[in-house]
C-alpha cells in the first residue's frame, strides 16, 4: 500500500483505492462462516441426530449475534478506529472455527458460531467496514461500498466449494479448524494496514472549512425523509429485517433443498456458489446504479426484483431451472443490503455513520437469522419448501412497501422545496 498523504487529500484518492482492496479481502475472510454453515448443515444434522429446524439454529444464533455485534463494533469503530475492532475479530474467527470443529453437540457448535464467529468475528468485518468505506469516498461512494459489501459474496462464492471439498476429503471438523487458522491469521495481518482514520472523521470545519463542507452530503439532515432520526432509522430496520427474511430462504436452505429433491448436497453447494457469485455482479452493478439514482431507489428496485426471483422458485424444481433461478436470484438481490449503507450516508449525519449503519445491518442480519430458522420450521411442519418460499415472498412485500413510501416522501419533499424556492 502506498504511503498515506495528508488527510485533506485522502478522499477519493489512490490510498482510498488500496484501502478498499484490503477491505474486500478482510470481508471475504471475516464472513466465511456465514456460508460454510449452510454447506455443513446436512452433515451436522446427521451427526448430531437433530431435526432440520434445530440444525438451522446455529446459523440463526450466529446471524442474530452478528447483527448485535455490528451495532457495538460500529460504535467502537466510530470512537477508536477500525483496527482494534479487526484485531479482536481475527482472534474470534480463529477461535470460533476451531471450537466449532471440536464441538460434541449442536449446542456447542451453535455457541461457537454465535458468540465467536458472529458477535465478535464476522461483526468486525461487515457493518463497520461498510461505514468506514463510505467515509473515504464522495464521487464513487456507491461503487466503493458495493465493492466492500461484495466481499461478503466473494466469501459465499469461494468458501462453499472449498468447504464441500474439505468435508468429502478430510471431514467437516478438520475443514473448520483449517479455515479458522487461515482466516484468523489473514485478518490479523491485514488489520495492520487499516490504521489511518477516515478523513471525513478527522477533518473539521475549523481545520479545513472548505474540505469539511465537501465531505458532508447535502441530503444529510436532522430529518431524513422529513422524519425524525429515530423514526427513519426504525423504518429502515424494519425493512432490513423483512428483506433478509426473504433473502435467507434460498441462501440458507438451497443445499438442503437440493438434497431433498435427490440432486445431492454437492449440486446445492454449486447453486449457492453460483447464487453468490452472481451476487457479486449484482452488488457492483447496484453500486453504479446507486451513484446515479441514489440509495432509496436502488433499494426499491432490488427488493422488487428479489420478490420476482422468489416467485420463480415455486413452479420450477428441476436441476437446470434451479441453476438458472439461483443465478437470477443472485443477480437481483445482491445490491439490497449495501443500499442501506448508502441511504444512511445520504440522509443521516456522517459522524454517526458507524453506529447507524451498524443498527440497520443488525436488522438485516436478524432478518437472515429469523428467515433461516423460520424456513426450517415451516419445512418441518409441512414437509415441503413451497410454503417457506411463500413466507419469504410475503416478507419481501413489506420491504417493497416501506421503500416505495420513503421514496414517495423524498419526491414530495423535493417538490415542496422547489415550490418554496420559487415562491
Query: Are 252 and 372 spatial neighbours (Cβ–Cβ below 8 Å)?
Result: yes
Q: Which residues of 257-276 are buried (b: 16+ CB within 10 A; e: fewer)?
A: bbbbeebebbbbbbbbbbbb
Q: Contact, 96 vs 113, CB < 8 A?
A: yes
Angle between helices 82-101 and 172-191 (to 10 degrees): 170
What is the extent of the structural domain holding 280? 12-422
Query: Using alpha carbons only, how large is the chain's radius of gyration in Å?
Result: 21
Asked if 375 and 389 touch (Cβ cutoff 8 Å), the reply is no
DSSP 104-128: SSHHHHHHIIIIIIIIIIGGGGSHH
Per the domain annotation, does 170 fall within a domain?
yes
| Contact yes or no for 103/159 (Cβ under 8 A) | no
Does residue 1 belong to any structural domain of this protein? no
Contact assessment for residue 41 and residue 372, using Cβ atoms and an 8 Å cutoff: no
DSSP string, 20-77: HHHHHHHHHHHTTHHHHHHHHHHHHHHHHT--HHHHHHHHHHHHHHHHHHHHHHHHHH
In a domain, 3, yes or no: no
* pLDDT by residue, tens only, the chain of 423 residues: 554 444 557 888 899 999 999 999 999 999 999 889 878 988 998 999 988 778 878 888 887 888 888 888 888 888 888 999 999 999 999 999 999 999 999 999 999 999 999 999 999 998 889 889 988 988 888 899 889 988 887 888 789 889 999 999 999 999 999 999 999 999 999 999 999 887 766 554 444 444 443 444 445 556 889 899 899 999 999 999 999 999 988 888 888 889 888 898 888 888 988 887 888 888 889 889 988 899 999 999 999 999 999 999 999 888 999 999 999 999 998 889 889 988 998 888 877 777 888 889 889 878 887 888 888 888 888 888 889 899 999 999 999 999 999 999 999 988 888 887 776
Reported pTM: 0.75
pLDDT tens-digit readout, 9-26:
788 889 999 999 999 999
Give, for 240, the enclosing helix (H) or strand (E).
Answer: helix 229-261
192 falls within a domain: yes
Asked if the structure places residue 5 within a domain, the reply is no
Residue with cell 415455486: 314
Q: What is the pLDDT of residues 237-282, one digit of tens each?
A: 999 999 999 998 888 888 888 988 889 888 888 898 888 788 888 8
| C-alpha span between 164 and 259 (Å, rounded) | 14
4 within some domain: no
Confidence at residue 100, expressed as pLDDT on a 0 to 100 scale: 96
Domain tally for the chain? 1
The C-alpha cell at 290 is: 446507486
Instruction: Report the CATH number that the domain containing residue 258 is assigned in CATH.
Output: 1.20.1250.20
Q: Is residue 298 part of a domain?
A: yes
C-alpha cell at position 158: 469461494
Is residue 48 domain-resident?
yes
Alpha-carbon span 85 to 89, nearest angstrom? 6
Residue 119 Cα to chain centre, angstroms: 14
Residue whose C-alpha cell is 426484483: 305
Q: Is the dihedral of CA 304, 314, 52, 27 positive or negative?
A: negative
Contact 98, 176 (CB under 8 A): yes
207 φ/ψ sector (left φ>0, alpha ψ -120 to 50, else beta) = alpha
Amino acid at each position: 500500500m502506498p504511503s498515506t498523504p495528508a488527510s485533506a487529500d485522502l478522499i477519493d484518492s489512490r490510498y482510498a483505492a488500496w484501502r478498499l482492496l484490503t477491505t474486500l479481502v478482510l470481508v471475504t475472510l471475516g464472513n466465511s462462516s456465514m456460508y460454510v454453515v449452510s454447506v455443513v448443515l446436512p452433515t451436522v444434522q446427521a451427526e448430531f441426530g437433530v431435526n432440520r429446524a434445530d440444525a438451522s439454529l446455529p446459523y440463526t444464533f450466529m446471524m442474530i449475534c452478528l447483527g448485535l455485534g455490528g451495532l457495538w463494533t460500529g460504535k467502537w469503530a466510530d470512537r477508536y478506529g477500525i483496527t482494534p475492532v479487526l484485531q479482536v475479530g481475527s482472534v474470534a474467527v480463529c477461535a470460533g472455527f476451531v471450537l466449532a470443529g471440536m464441538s460434541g453437540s449442536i449446542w456447542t457448535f451453535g455457541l461457537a458460531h454465535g458468540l465467536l464467529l458472529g458477535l465478535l468475528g464476522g461483526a468486525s468485518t461487515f457493518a463497520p467496514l461498510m461505514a468506514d468505506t463510505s467515509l473515504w469516498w464522495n464521487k464513487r461512494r456507491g461503487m466503493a461500498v458495493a465493492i466492500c459489501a461484495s466481499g461478503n459474496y466473494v466469501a459465499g462464492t469461494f468458501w462453499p466449494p472449498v468447504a464441500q471439498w474439505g468435508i468429502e476429503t478430510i471431514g467437516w471438523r478438520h475443514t473448520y479448524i483449517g479455515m479458522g487458522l487461515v482466516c484468523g491469521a489473514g485478518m490479523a495481518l491485514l488489520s495492520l494496514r487499516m490504521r489511518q482514520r477516515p478523513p471525513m472523521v478527522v477533518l473539521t470545519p475549523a481545520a479545513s472549512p472548505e474540505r469539511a463542507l465537501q465531505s458532508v452530503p447535502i441530503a444529510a439532515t436532522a430529518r431524513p425523509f422529513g422524519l425524525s432520526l429515530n423514526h427513519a432509522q426504525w423504518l429502515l430496520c424494519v425493512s432490513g429485517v423483512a428483506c433478509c427474511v426473504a433473502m435467507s430462504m434460498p441462501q440458507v436452505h438451497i443445499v438442503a433443498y437440493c438434497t431433498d429433491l435427490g440432486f445431492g448436497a454437492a449440486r446445492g453447494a454449486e447453486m449457492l456458489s453460483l447464487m453468490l457469485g452472481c451476487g457479486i455482479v449484482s452488488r457492483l452493478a447496484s453500486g453504479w446504479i446507486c451513484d446515479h439514482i441514489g440509495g432509496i431507489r436502488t433499494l426499491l428496485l432490488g427488493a422488487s426484483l428479489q420478490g420476482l426471483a422468489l416467485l420463480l422458485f415455486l413452479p420450477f424444481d428441476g436441476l437446470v431451472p434451479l441453476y438458472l433461478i439461483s443465478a437470477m436470484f443472485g443477480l437481483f438481490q445482491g445490491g439490497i443490503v449495501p443500499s442501506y449503507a448508502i441511504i444512511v450516508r445520504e440522509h443521516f449525519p456522517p459522524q454517526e455513520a458507524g453506529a447507524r449503519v451498524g443498527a440497520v445491518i443488525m436488522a438485516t442480519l436478524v432478518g437472515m437469522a429469523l428467515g433461516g430458522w423460520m424456513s426450517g420450521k415451516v419445512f418441518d411442519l409441512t414437509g415441503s419448501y413451497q410454503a417457506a418460499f411463500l413466507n419469504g415472498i410475503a416478507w419481501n412485500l413489506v420491504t417493497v412497501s416501506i421503500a416505495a413510501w420513503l421514496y414517495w416522501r423524498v419526491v414530495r419533499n423535493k417538490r415542496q422545496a422547489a415550490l418554496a424556492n420559487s415562491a
